[in-house]
């Protein structure tokens, strides 16, 4: 029986790996697919009924300790070192049971895939040559690629694959970016009726409590947009389950909104200059919201990449982190290109007004909107990568 282990280190990395694992289960229904998430509890895997075999614990930084030293120290005092040691011991012990180990993410899961001592495949989703031409694989990945156990290197975009090939790393291939397979098209019926409206998707991110702070930063942009424009806007927010009712009540009370329950979802509402603004809040509707929107207002990582892949224009506001900081936003801009307009709120006297003006300008520019569609297809690509990578894995094992 074929046995494959995925190692990943973050929300987006877990998503990529889980989508490939799902495709593998369809191609090889009698195989054993397991997951070794080294950040968080691996809920994406668990929700897809993929066995998690790693010791897990949620750290304060959510895996973003590299953003600043304070995040690292918070993780250390929360048991990061002990968890890492347990993970290393566990991985080495169980790895002998697997035919192939797939490292998904940055240098850390790649090193662990090598540490497992079994044939391994690298899937880099944290690096792209769009960050800057002639990007180098992080040490020691280029050395690991020469190992007799290495079965290949995969990148998330063709530009990066070609760049690395020019540098002499010949076993690099690209089959696409799996995250675009996580966007089935459904339908979200609006909770409020807004005529002749543009739809704004609000994406505050998935990490709690950062997502709560992010939503608090994005709401003033929506308010300013309502003030400066006579257009009607439909605001739809995609929330993760951890963004619970207590957090919504906190937002409502501290930012002068009324919170209205709408079946299993909610609406934040207030009146601004005799105009009512409704911020619709949805759980488990991310894909539908993304497909149906005209523009994204967000502070997220993977979700923004998916939005760009669908050709959506994005206005984002930098925050305090630990993930969505100014440095993170700059890297995202280099990767995703023209679709992204960033408001560095620490540099703006009125960041909310600046964000609102950017939204109005973006939606009014038809040439720009067309450029976003073309750029998104080039930078991120479309659906189908999960199956292609799964087929690659089966070919390696055949």
Which of 154, 147, 158 minimizes the C-alpha distance to 171?
Answer: 154
Q: What is the mean pLDDT of residues 158-187?
A: 92
Indicate the pLDDT class of residue 264, thresholds 50, 70 and 90: confident
pLDDT digits (tens, 9 = 90+) for 113-157: 999 999 999 999 999 999 986 778 888 998 999 999 999 999 999
pLDDT digits (tens, 9 = 90+) for 20-66: 999 999 999 999 999 999 988 899 999 999 999 998 766 565 555 45
Indicate the pLDDT class of residue 77, thresholds 50, 70 and 90: very low
b/e 247-273 (16+ beta carbons within 10 angstroms → b) = bbeebbeeeebebbeeeebbbbbbeee
> What's the pLDDT score for residue 348?
87
Written as six digits, the tokens of 231 are 């257009």
Find how far residue 30's CA is from the centre of its chain: 30
Q: What is the mean pLDDT of residues 382-386?
A: 97
Locate tokens 């619970």: which residue?
A: 244
CB 39 within 8 A of CB 70: no
CATH of domain 3-182+383-397: 3.40.50.2000
| Cross-strand bridge partners of residue 150 | 120
Question: Could you give the percent of the chain with pLDDT greater than 90?
Answer: 77
- Strand, helix or coil at 275? strand
Distance CA(340)–CA(129), nearest Å, equals: 17
Whether the pLDDT of residue 178 is over 50: the answer is yes
Q: What is the mean pLDDT of residues 201-226?
A: 96
- Residue 121 burial (10 A CB sphere; 0-12, 13-18, 19+): buried
DSSP letter string, 9-55: -SHHHHHHHHHHHHHHHHH-TTSEEEEEESSB--HHHHHTT-EE-S-
Q: What is the mean pLDDT of residues 311-324?
A: 95
> What's the pLDDT score for residue 185?
80
DSSP letter string, 171-228: TEEE---GGGGG--------SS--TTEEEEEEE--SSTTHHHHHHHHHHHHHHHHHHH
Q: What is the mean pLDDT of residues 334-353?
A: 94
Q: What is the mean pLDDT of residues 362-374?
A: 98
- Which of 183-197, 273-287, 296-310 has the least mean pLDDT? 183-197
Beta-carbon contacts of 228 under 8 Å, excluding residues fewer than 6 positions away, are 353, 356, 357, 360
Does the domain spanning 197-379 belong to CATH 3.40.50.2000?
yes
Whether the pLDDT of residue 83 is over 90: the answer is no
Q: What is the mean pLDDT of residues 7-21?
A: 95
Mean pLDDT rounded to a whole number for the chain = 91
Q: What is the mean pLDDT of residues 363-390?
A: 97
Question: Could you give the percent of the chain with pLDDT greater than 70?
Answer: 91
> What's the pLDDT score for residue 214?
98
CB 383 within 8 A of CB 180: yes
Indicate the pLDDT class of residue 363, thresholds 50, 70 and 90: very high
Whether the pLDDT of residue 8 is over 80: the answer is yes
Q: What angle do CA 397, 119, 151 make, to 5 degrees?
A: 70
Distance CA(1)–CA(100), nearest Å, equals: 12
Indicate the pLDDT class of residue 298, thresholds 50, 70 and 90: very high
CATH 3.40.50.2000 domain span(s) along the chain = 3-182+383-397, 197-379
Locate tokens 């055949």: which residue?
A: 398
- Strand, helix or coil at 258? strand
Whether the pLDDT of residue 239 is over 50: the answer is yes
């Amino acid at each position: 029986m074929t046995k494959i282990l995925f190692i990943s280190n973050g929300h987006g990395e877990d998503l990529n790996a889980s989508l490939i694992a799902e495709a593998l289960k369809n191609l090889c229904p009698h195989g054993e697919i397991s997951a070794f998430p080294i950040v968080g509890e691996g809920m994406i895997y668990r929700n897809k009924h993929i066995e998690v075999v790693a010791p897990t614990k949620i750290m304060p930084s959510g895996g973003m300790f590299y953003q600043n030293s304070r995040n690292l120290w918070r993780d250390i005092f929360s048991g990061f070192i002990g968890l890492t040691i347990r993970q290393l011991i566990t991985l080495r012990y169980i790895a002998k049971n697997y035919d192939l180990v797939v490292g998904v993410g940055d240098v850390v899961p790649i090193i662990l895939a090598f540490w497992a001592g079994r044939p391994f495949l690298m899937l880099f989703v944290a690096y792209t040559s769009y960050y800057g031409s002639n990007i180098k694989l992080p040490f020691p990945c280029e050395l690991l690629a020469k190992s007799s156990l290495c079965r290949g290197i995969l990148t998330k975009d063709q530009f990066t694959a070609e760049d690395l090939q020019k540098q002499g790393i010949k076993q690099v291939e690209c089959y696409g970016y799996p995250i675009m397979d996580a966007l089935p098209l459904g339908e979200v019926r609006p909770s409020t009726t807004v005529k002749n409206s543009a739809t704004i998707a609000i994406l505050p991110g998935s990490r709690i409590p950062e997502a709560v702070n992010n939503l608090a930063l994005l709401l003033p942009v929506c308010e300013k947009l309502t003030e400066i424009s006579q257009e009607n806007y439909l605001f739809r927010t995609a929330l993760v389950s951890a963004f619970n009712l207590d957090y919504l009540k906190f937002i409502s009370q501290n930012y002068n909104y009324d919170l209205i329950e709408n079946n299993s979802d909610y609406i934040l509402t207030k009146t601004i200059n005799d105009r009512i603004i409704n911020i619709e809040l949805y759980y488990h509707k991310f894909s539908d919201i993304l497909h149906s929107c005209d523009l994204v207002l967000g502070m997220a990582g993977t979700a923004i990449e998916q939005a760009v892949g669908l050709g959506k224009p994005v206005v984002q506001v930098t925050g305090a982190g630990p993930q969505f900081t100014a440095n993170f936003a700059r890297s995202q801009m280099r990767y995703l290109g023209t679709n992204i307009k960033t408001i560095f709120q620490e540099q703006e006297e009125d960041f909310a007004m600046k964000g609102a003006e950017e939204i109005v300008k973006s939606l009014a520019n038809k040439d720009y909107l067309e450029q976003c569609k073309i750029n998104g297809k080039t930078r991120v690509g479309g659906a189908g990568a999960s199956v292609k990578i799964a087929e690659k894995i089966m070919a390696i094992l055949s």
